[in-house]
Amino acid sequence: MSVFDYTLEQLQAKLHSKELTVSDLVQAAYDRIDEVEEEVKSFLTLNKEQALEKAKQLDEAMPETTNPLYGIPAGIKDNIVTKGLRTTCASQFLSNFNDPLYDATVIDKLNKEQAVVIGKLNMDEFAMGSTTENSSYYDTRNPWNTDYVPGGSSGGSAAAVAAGEVFYSLGSDTGGSIRQPASFCGVVGLKPTYGLVSRFGLVAFASSLDQIGPLTRTVEDNAYVLQAIAGHCNMDSTSANVDIPNYHDVLKDGVKGLKIAVPKEYLSSQEGIQPEVREKVEAALEVFKSLGATVDEVSLPHSKYAVAAYYLLASSEASANLARFDGIRYGQRAENAENLIDLFKKSRSEGFGEEVKRRIMLGTFALSSGYYDAYYKKAQQVRTLIKQDFDKVFEDYDVIIGPTSPTPAYKIGEKIDDPLTMYADDVLTIPVNLAGVPGMSLPCGFSNDSHLPIGLQIIAKHFDEKTIYRAAYAYEQATEHHKERPNLGGAK
């Protein structure tokens, strides 16, 4: 049995019984990376020397009691700033950003838990994409079948957990970038309520939508990681000052009496939901019914406008946020520029990839004089309607459940030249970000032919992650999907 098959709780028990050491766990992570990384390509930067040294120190200082993350190897998406460890956002613009001067708040929190950062994970450039094919370095591949995409933009974060290279990872979610790769790779991924986890040190894509969250193999592990990284931060003006409950305490409360809403739009073939995805979600709903929950159909009528509104809003915010990358202070700096404006143009042209340029141009257009009211303002109004749809459902129901993605993973190269089709694939995840509510993806089965994972999405009202964990844990314990492993590197 691989050490990566143990839960965080089990690993802590083995550390205290001396069956394992922190050094064993860290070395196991790097051994696994050596074994499968050529196939998966999850990592952009490794932190081996420092990680092994920290592991040695943690072994020597092992206290009688530890938190669940003590000494546990983790991977970090490469748009989360790590002091002294290269942070590139998978962009050539930041290829030489080798020595950041500070840690993101979530990294500070992991350090306080004495977690061990193994390295930085591949992603779509500046978190713009749904397949990790927009990385300017190389494509990450799905561990279940390396001909297929792992999803994105947190594709490296999901693939590394699924491949058993790390015990958990952090990703960021702007329009589904944690949940969709979690669905494609068969792991558990949570987008927390906007403001629950600090964004300080997260390189901004769309500031009103971005949120950091955990990817793990089990729901229980996910609760432990969120417990560690959630909380108010004075460095983030959008951070919410709310009480953080003990997420682990509610896991075993069961779902008897839980009221589940299923939006008819989320199972509609008009939204591109494949029949086998609908079949697996409907089977999952039957499991919930057997556990004592009630299930009713509802409507989220404005969800059909979510994709259009999102790409206007996210691109507008991106065009403003990425203006700071100008070739002056850090990052790509063009040679032989004739003047300051020429330096800006050449540096940004050389440093940014095609998708980033596309979104900057769209956002700049939407914010321009004469078009602001017609596009950006209208998209904000639609966003309000989408939030009101969620608020209305949550007046009567505890959670909303549906698919995470309309399809399982698709082949590398299949959609990269058709960005509009790829954008439409985010139809089920985007409304959650626009409304600011929390959402989780967890495995609910596999496609019939390719045996690729299919994800179930559970959504709750603002700051009600504990109900998501309660529902997800009950479903996970009643099924076996989370126990399956990809056949990678010669062993499951």
Least confident piece of the model among 46-50, 145-149, 328-332, 455-459: 328-332
Query: Are 65 and 15 contacting, i.e. CB atoms less than 8 angstroms apart?
Result: no
Look up residue 251 and give its two tokens: 């896991």
Dist. CA 195–CA 283, nearest whole Å = 33
Look up residue 1 and give its two tokens: 């049995």
Least confident piece of the model among 221-235, 323-337, 442-456, 459-473: 323-337
Q: Quick one: pLDDT at residue 490?
A: 46
* Percentage above 90 pLDDT, the chain: 92
Look up residue 125 and give its two tokens: 């450039």
295-313 burial, b if ≥16 CB within 10 A, otherwise e?
beebebebbebbbbbbbbb
Q: Quick one: pLDDT at residue 94?
A: 97
Q: What is the pLDDT of residues 288-319, one digit of tens each?
A: 999 999 999 999 999 999 999 999 999 999 99
Coil, helix or strand for 456? Answer: strand
Dist. CA 9–CA 75, nearest whole Å = 19
Which among 158-162, 345-349, 416-420 has the top mean pLDDT?
158-162
Average pLDDT over residues 106-119: 98
| DSSP secondary structure, 12-47, as one string | HHHHHTTSS-HHHHHHHHHHHHHHHHHHH--EEEE-
| DSSP secondary structure, 315-368, as one string | HHHHHHHGGG-SSSSSS---SS-SSHHHHHHHHHHHHS-HHHHHHHHHHHHHHS
153 as an active site residue: the answer is yes
**In which residue are the tokens 């896991």 written?**
251
Residues 6+ apart with CB under 8 A from 432: 176, 179, 191, 438, 439, 457, 459
Coil, helix or strand for 431? Answer: helix
Q: Quick one: pLDDT at residue 489?
A: 60
DSSP class of residue 126 equals G
59-73 burial, b if ≥16 CB within 10 A, otherwise e?
eeeeeeebbbbbbbb
Query: Are 46 and 119 contacting, i.e. CB atoms less than 8 angstroms apart?
Result: yes
pLDDT of 491 > 50? The answer is no
Give the Å distances, CA to CA, from 179 to 170, 185, 200, 314.
12, 10, 21, 17
Q: Which residue has the higher pLDDT, 89 or 1?
A: 89
Pairing of strands 168-173, 211-216: antiparallel
**In which residue are the tokens 């530890």 written?**
66
C-alpha 267 chain-centroid distance: 23
Half-sphere exposure of 297 (CA within 13 A, CB side): 7
User: pTM of this prediction?
Assistant: 0.96
Dist. CA 263–CA 344, nearest whole Å = 47
Look up residue 388 and give its two tokens: 């009101």
169 as an active site residue: the answer is no
Average pLDDT over residues 14-23: 96
Average pLDDT of the chain is 96
pLDDT of 1 > 90? The answer is no
The catalytic residue among 177, 316, 319, 405 is 177
pLDDT of 492 > 80? The answer is no
In the chain, the N- to C-terminal Cα span, in Å, equals 9
77 as an active site residue: the answer is yes
Architecture of 3-253+479-483 per CATH? Alpha-Beta Complex (3.90)
Least confident piece of the model among 120-129, 139-148, 424-433: 424-433
Phi then psi for residue 444, to 5 deg, are -130, 15
Phi then psi for residue 209, to 5 deg, are -125, -35
Helices 8-16 and 22-40 pack at an angle, to 10 degrees, of: 140
The catalytic residue among 23, 41, 42, 77 is 77
Q: What is the pLDDT of residues 247-285, one digit of tens each?
A: 999 999 999 999 999 999 999 877 789 999 999 999 999
The catalytic residue among 42, 91, 153, 347 is 153
Dist. CA 460–CA 300, nearest whole Å = 14
Dist. CA 156–CA 162, nearest whole Å = 10
C-alpha 44 chain-centroid distance: 17
pLDDT of 188 > 90? The answer is yes
Give the Å distances, CA to CA, from 221 to 18, 70, 161, 300, 452.
21, 13, 12, 31, 23
Least confident piece of the model among 83-87, 117-121, 250-254, 370-374: 370-374
